[in-house]
Structure 1
Amino acid sequence: MTQVIRNSAELREKVAGWKRSGMLVGVVPTMGALHEGHMSLVAQARAQSDRVIVTIFVNPMQFNNPDDLTKYPRNEAKDVALLDQAGVDVLFAPGVEEVYPTGFATTVSITGVSEPMEGAHRPGHFDGVATVVSKLFGMTQAGRAFFGEKDWQQLQVVRRLVDDLNIPVKIIGCPTIREEDGLAMSSRNVRLTAQERQIAPQMHHILQQAATQLRGGALASDALTSARAAFLAAGFHDVEYLELASVEGLRLLPAANEPARLLVAAWLGDVRLIDNIAV
């Protein structure tokens, strides 16, 4: 049965016991509202670790929009049931005061890979991500951490963080899990209206069309202009960014002349959706 721990000292004591027995500890950091995408990360963690911790913490530092923080879905009872069924050893669900106690004054900031796309449109977001991930790694003392490729830029930020600060944890990226119609699974999908849910899968399909053009030699400027128009025609009312970027370093590219990723963020009603695919 999954044990729920909310205190970092208690968690570290448990992890220390596991490690004394020679066990490899894996962690899956989440903000809760768990779905099949999260559970695929849990499955990877179970396959590659002796003990698995899932963390649930809706991190206020990474929300630049207070309304988005308020609306973020939360259902811990349902999450615990899913984790218990999946054989997770510990759910670490600290309160805000446990993660950011009175007097907390440290922020972890990463330049370069964090600056375009999400970084440009959500000021301070990746500082919040880097800070809380650093804390969660310290609290859990895990040897492996599992992140979804759906948040591709976040995955690269976490890799940079671990490399730069010599944090002894191996970062493992796991494939995006999609609904049958292609929509990338996300906790925010539950906020889509029935009509918006019919439109949302177009995000993946339009990315696929643009990627096909890029693989055929099209310039990014041409392929992305066509794709942006397709998003608006499909019913997305604002495309925040749509970029072709290098896999390593997320440098914006004029064409797919090296391993690349196509990344998008767009609004559908009052829900902001993101996705990415390899080119």
Structure 2
Amino acid sequence: MKVFKTIHQLREHLSPLRSQTKIGLVPTMGALHQGHISLVEESKKKSQFTVASIFVNPTQFNNPEDLKKYPKTLESDLAKLSEAGCDIAFVPDDSEIYPRKPEIKIDLGPITTELEGKFRPGHFNGVGLVVSKLFHIVQPDLAFFGQKDLQQFYVIKKLVTELNFPVELHMVTTQREANGLAMSSRNMRLSADEIKEASMLYKALKISQNMLLAQSDIKEVKAQVQELFSQSERLELEYFEVIDTSSFKPLLKVKDSRKTAMCIAAEIGSVRLIDNLLLNS
């Protein structure tokens, strides 16, 4: 596996490959786990050449303390990518991606103000900006993102449509710990007891999925989730919503189960966790 730190080096290496090779991109912020590796594995199935980026993007953090605490494990990340058969790791520093403070804003409309956008103002502007840059830099044929960040995937899908990026997007199923907790880089900051308790997010999603499939009213489902979290001393529920994936607006009634998902966010200690399930999964 080759490792490049500059845009020029990366482009120079990829240029002769473009006409004969399908290039897959796996954008990450490092602190890699099996969820990230599953994206690399999916890229290797669908493309001939895989590029993984490792860049902790400062513009998508609305909380400076969260950015400061984000785990950085570059050495082990590179070892995991190499073992997974990744072809290139692109590991730029901040000044390579943002030579000066960015002034451009990418507003992708109402979908960016729901759920995560409501609780993390400006987050999706930063996501849209860095993903646009990575698409321009790498010029991939395919790009792979995890379902755990469901809203992010749909925001990027809109970005690709609105800006006519010639990129085929793939969403890869969430990888989970044995207790159901969605794999996340933030899990590194949890104690063993907190990891055990955080499994309640997945439990709540499964309960809500079963209730909705049994035709329960959404109000009843939300009340059940609230009741479940009220039993925890450490987990604080931030939101639980049943949403339409085309807009991410909360639903009062399920209209199309193929476009319905349950999304949840909660905090334990100082760590914020998110998760989701598609109703028909």
TM-score, scaled relative to structure 1 = 0.96
| Farther off after superposition, 74-83 or 100-109 | 100-109
Distance in 1 (alpha carbons) for counterparts of 2:144 and 2:225: 31
Q: Is the 8 A contact 1:46 1:52 kept in 2?
A: yes
* 1:218 CA displacement: 1.6
Partner of 2:261: 261
The corresponding residue for 2:228 is 230
After superposition, residues 61-210 of structure 1 pair within 5 angstroms as 61-102=59-100, 104-210=102-208
* Structure 1 CA distance for aligned equivalents of residues 59 and 137 of structure 2: 17
Q: Does 1:239 align with 2:210?
A: no
Task: Tell me, in whole angstroms, the C-alpha distance in 2 between the residues paired with 1:209 and 1:234.
Answer: 16
Work out the CA distance in 1 between the residues paired with 2:86 and 2:17: 14
Deviation at 1:194, TM superposition (A): 2.0
Local SS of the residue matching 1:130: helix
Counterparts of 1:129 and 1:231, CA distance in 2: 30
Q: Percent identity?
A: 39
Structure 2 distance, partners of 1:232, 1:182, is: 20
TM norm structure 2: 0.96
Q: How far apart, CA to CA, are the structure 1 residues paired with 2:40 and 2:234?
A: 32
Deviations 1:159-198 (A, max 9, x none): 0000011011111000000111111000000111222111
What is the deviation of 1:59?
0.5
Q: CA deviation at 1:237?
A: 3.7
Aligned residues: 277
Q: Which amino acid counterpart does residue 220 of structure 1 have in structure 2?
A: I
Measured against aligned partners, the alpha-carbon deviations of 1:125-153 in whole angstroms (never above 9, x if no partner) come to 00000000000101111110000001000
Deviations along 1:75-105, one digit per CA (max 9) or x if unpaired, are: 1100110111111111001110011112532
Asked whether the 8 Å contact 1:64–1:123 carries over to 2, the reply is: yes
Helix, strand or coil: the match of 1:45? helix
CA distance in 2, matches of 1:257, 1:107: 34
Q: Contact 2:205–2:277 at 8 Å: present in 1 too?
A: yes
Contact (CA 8 Å) 1:218, 1:255: kept in 2 or not?
Answer: no
| Amino acid aligned to 1:156 | Y
Gap runs ≥5 in structure 2: none
In 1, Cα distance between equivalents of 2:101 and 2:189:
35
Q: Which amino acid aligns with 1:18?
A: L
Per-residue deviation, 1:124? 0.4
Answering whether residue 278 of structure 2 is matched by residue 273 of structure 1, we say no
Runs of 4+ off more than 4 Å: none
Query: Match of 1:215, as an amino acid?
Result: L
Quick one: distance in 1 between partners of 2:233 and 2:107? 35
Deviations along 1:235-260, one digit per CA (max 9) or x if unpaired, are 45421111000122223211223120
Could you tell me whether the CA contact under 8 Å between 2:4 and 2:91 is conserved in 1?
A: yes
Amino acid at match of 1:68: D
1:110 Cα shift? 1.1
More displaced stretch, 106-115 vs 261-270: 106-115
* Corresponding residue of 1:43: 41
Worse overlay, 53-62 or 186-195: 186-195
Check whether the contact 2:115–2:248 (CA below 8 A) recurs between aligned residues: no
The superposition leaves residues 201-247 of structure 1 with CA deviations (integer Å, 9 ceiling, x where unpaired) of 11101111111111212221221122022123134542111100012
Deviates more, 1:34-43 or 1:234-243: 234-243
Aligned CA RMSD, in angstroms, stands at 1.1
Partner SS for 2:239: strand
Cα distance in 2 for partners of 1:69, 1:140 equals 25
SS class of match (1:134): helix
